[in-house]
Structure 1
């Protein structure tokens, strides 16, 4: 009973902080800045409570219902910000090209700093490294960025590594937006390292990892959910403020101030969501690293002692889960355990 209560409370906490709380903040902002300009509407006048207790109940109920609706629509909300939903083909390709160029620029900056450090320390550069160093120094864009990087401290230069780490390893996995790349980098982590397709085997993997590891993933995502919900709520309030300016006779100074403030805050919350994916990526990385062995045991497989063989095993497991069965899948038999998986029944 205690474990069930912990699970219910844990799920309620992520829902409360990730979606209901930012919804309540945006709803409060609407009531303070936009709603006073709609007093002349008959429908709003009928729905408006006549007592303070009724207003509080309306606010809490609205926050809860709208938060639940936003949580139910979280997949399309994320996909829109990641660049997968409602993006024209031309805009998608342009965004991917821009992301590849940004990743290449960061890689060149770090390569230039690394080679110059080796050169200062008296290290022998290979002909290939010497040619690369000369080429990077000859790129005006890279050299301008490197001049700024040389004046920074080691901690400040580490931020460049963090920015590069928010991109997928493979260029063919690049997404058109920063949030899409920041999420895609840990979606491809299991496949890049072990050929374990976590997108296909996500439910199996989360069902096998220790509760603490799974809980870390949920809590890490909650921070990103909070900023995503806050961002969308600001967009909705800003849209309602514009409609109020067009259809009513409100206090225009209040509404224009709200619109300008929200438009300034939207990119701040977007950047905060991108930064918050770092903890989410670390939690997913830990889940993949420590969950491979329990997952193999649960699937009656023996984890090989060589990484190359393990990658081969997970390739076949992922393919078996993704495509219809084929006789070639019998090659997985050499990794199957002789008996039932170890552990309590």
Structure 2
């Protein structure tokens, strides 16, 4: 009973932080910056509370309701920003190509810095292969131009380049057309890349058997990203409402214009913050896969093999058995099944 209560309270906390709180912030901006210009219209005049307590109650109620709605729509909200929903095919392909090139450029810049450092340490004793690679990188005008700035960076600033590379998935085929899409896709593919465990298919089973502390960390890390996503969409909606209200005859033009500009400037800030917040989310999902595989295997009646290659085979077969209709080839999973328990 205690575990159930903890789960309910944990879910309520992530819902509050991830969706209801940013919705309350956005509604507060709307109430104080946009709504006063609309108070003289018929519908708003009838619905507007007459007391401060009534206004606070309306704000609280609207925040909870809209927060719950946004939480229910979160998959679609994420997919738009990731580039999977409502994106024209040409824009999607162009975005993927741009990010493939961006990732390759980052890797080349880091490779150039690493090779130049080795060249300084060992003089001209680089192997022919590395010397050839260094010459090719120096001949690339785009990389050489960026490298001139990279050489002036501190060690901490150079480490940020590695962080940017780490926010991309390993497989070129998994590249998404947006920064947020790539930052999320990199940990969605982690289980499959390392262990052939498709966490997208086995997510409920994996989270159901992983240690409670790890599951809690995943939820909290995702709530941080949810917060910025909800804030971003809310700012866009309030900025659009403020811009549309500018045309009203009795509108406070100065306040509405300032609100529109300020919120529009903050939208890319929240987007970048959401991308940065995925780092902690990625770390918790990695921990979930690493420590949750063994209890997951035991719960499915499987024995975790000692060899990594055999484990990869086992998880590939298990994922297919969950994702595809049964086929006789699924019998290849039998050697990994635990024997009958003895009474």
The answer, yes or no, to whether TM exceeds 0.5 is yes
CA deviations 1:294-338 (Å, max 9, x no partner) are 111111111111111111111111111111111111011111111
**1:257-336 equivalent positions in 2, closer than 5 A:** 257-336=258-337
- The question of whether the paired residues in 2 share the 8 Å contact of 1:48 and 1:55 is answered with yes
Tell me the residue number matched to 1:93: 93
Tell me how far 1:247 sits from its aligned partner: 3.9
Tell me the residue number matched to 1:74: 74
CA deviations 1:271-297 (Å, max 9, x no partner) are 000000000000000000111111111
Tell me the residue number matched to 1:245: 246
CA deviations 1:114-136 (Å, max 9, x no partner) are 11111111174332211111000
Distance in 2 of aligned mates of 1:194 and 1:3: 30
TM-score by length of 1: 0.97
TM-score by length of 2: 0.97
- The question of whether the paired residues in 2 share the 8 Å contact of 1:37 and 1:248 is answered with no
Tell me the residue number matched to 1:214: 215
Tell me how far 1:3 sits from its aligned partner: 2.5
SS in 2 for 1:246: coil
Of 323-332 and 241-250, more deviation after overlay is shown by 241-250
Tell me how far 1:190 sits from its aligned partner: 0.4
Of 112-121 and 55-64, more deviation after overlay is shown by 112-121
Distance in 1 of aligned mates of 2:69 and 2:248: 27
Distance in 2 of aligned mates of 1:334 and 1:113: 48
Tell me the residue number matched to 2:186: 185
SS in 1 for 2:247: helix
Distance in 2 of aligned mates of 1:315 and 1:11: 31
- The question of whether the paired residues in 1 share the 8 Å contact of 2:39 and 2:48 is answered with no
CA deviations 1:116-161 (Å, max 9, x no partner) are 1111111743322111110001111111211111111111111000
Tell me how far 1:191 sits from its aligned partner: 0.4
Distance in 2 of aligned mates of 1:128 and 1:337: 49
Tell me the residue number matched to 1:121: 121
Structure 2 unmatched runs, 5+? none
Aligned length in residues: 342
- The question of whether the paired residues in 1 share the 8 Å contact of 2:192 and 2:198 is answered with yes
Structure 1 unmatched runs, 5+? none
**1:136-175 equivalent positions in 2, closer than 5 A:** 136-175=137-176
**1:50-69 equivalent positions in 2, closer than 5 A:** 50-69=50-69
Tell me the residue number matched to 1:197: 198
- The question of whether the paired residues in 1 share the 8 Å contact of 2:27 and 2:59 is answered with yes
Tell me how far 1:51 sits from its aligned partner: 1.4
CA deviations 1:189-234 (Å, max 9, x no partner) are 0001111000000001001100000000000000000000000000
CA deviations 1:10-54 (Å, max 9, x no partner) are 111100010000000000000111001102211111111111111
Tell me how far 1:340 sits from its aligned partner: 4.3
Distance in 1 of aligned mates of 2:8 and 2:336: 37
SS in 2 for 1:305: coil
- The 1:199/1:248 distance shift into structure 2, 3 A limit, reads farther
- The 1:195/1:238 distance shift into structure 2, 3 A limit, reads same
Tell me how far 1:113 sits from its aligned partner: 1.0
